[in-house]
Amino acid sequence: MIRRRVIVHGLVQGVGYRFSCQMQAENLGVRGWARNRPDGTVEAVFEGDATAVEQMVTWTRRGPRHADVTRVDVAEERPEGLAGFDTY
């Protein structure tokens, strides 16, 4: 199990980014959460199988159809054993 925290920059609020992120994560069996930040970015944490988590990180670079992602910052973290996937 691995954990990644991402900060997604660009037009990522008001375009269904968090909802789409949750659907993608659930399809891949990834646990974690996604939230809007006051600066207009989306922050997300992904935990799970290394392949699935890396697929999520790759997905964040494009996001849903109406998103315009300009940059994704990725940090490795120690897994906490999260359950499910939440949006805030």
Catalytic residues: 18, 36
Q: How far does Cα 78 stand from its chain's mean position?
A: 16
| Nearest residue to 60 via CA among 71, 49, 75 | 71
Under 8 Å between Cβ of 34 and 21 = yes
Under 8 Å between Cβ of 74 and 4 = yes
